[in-house]
Amino acid sequence: MWQSISYYALLALESVIGVFGIRLYEEPKYDVIARASDQVEIRRYAPRLAAEVALRGTDKEARGKAFRLLFDYIAGANRGASGSDLIAMTVPVAVREPELLPMTAPVESDETDGRVRMRFFLPTKYALDSAPQPSDERVQLLTVPAQTIAALRYSGSGRDFVSRQSELMTNLEGTDWRPVGQPYTLYYDAPFTLPFLRRNEAAVDVAKRP
């Protein structure tokens, strides 16, 4: 019970200070290995564990539903394996109880093939075989392999993600880096964060040109 109370108390605190662009969330580490332009960083990420939802539709409703499914997963809609994070009373060992997972940033989102695909990256203490299993089959766990990405950072509401992705791709033209796949968006802040304090990024996987 107290773990559940402290979990939601922390979320409330994060929400209050998040209005001003202050983040308490764990963020993935990366190395900046090059710059494609003044605006675009080339980053190298190690493999990461993520929870992913892919839903039909590319509208606001589909994005909201994907977010809720992922948030429900980290807030207890799962079958946990770690006794340290249990929020229910201990029950027979054969039953996996829900775990509360900390929020992390960023949230990754892309819209292709008539679908919205969204990912929450899990805290680094979890591995694929130890992470809580989602209760909803629409939430899938996967290991994202090591990535080299190009990222263009910007503030604002994030509604201009299409034009920002186009700007990113334009910045890569004539450089040593070629896009691999379609661009996507990384959101670091909640919707209630003051727009001019938000951190958003247009991103795309890249490879060095021969």
The CATH number given to whatever domain includes residue 72 is: 3.20.80.10
Query: E strand or H helix at 5, and its extent?
Result: helix 2-18
pLDDT of residue 94: 29
pTM above 0.85, yes or no: no
pLDDT at 164: 95
For residue 83, the model assigns a pLDDT of 39
- The number of folded domains in the chain is 1
As a whole number of angstroms, the distance between CA 39 and CA 168 comes to 8
Question: Looking at residue 43, what is its pLDDT?
Answer: 97
* Tokens (6 digits) for 26: 């764990």
For every residue of 160-182, DSSP letters joined together read THHHHHHHHHHHHTTSSEEEEEE
Residue 28's pLDDT is 86
Domain encompassing residue 12: 2-208
Q: Which residues of the chain have pLDDT under 70?
A: 1-22, 24, 80-98
Q: What is the pLDDT of residue 100?
A: 74
Determine the pLDDT at residue 178: 97
Distance from C-alpha of 182 to C-alpha of 51, rounded to nearest angstrom: 20
DSSP code for 99: B
Q: Which pLDDT does position 7 carry in this prediction?
A: 56
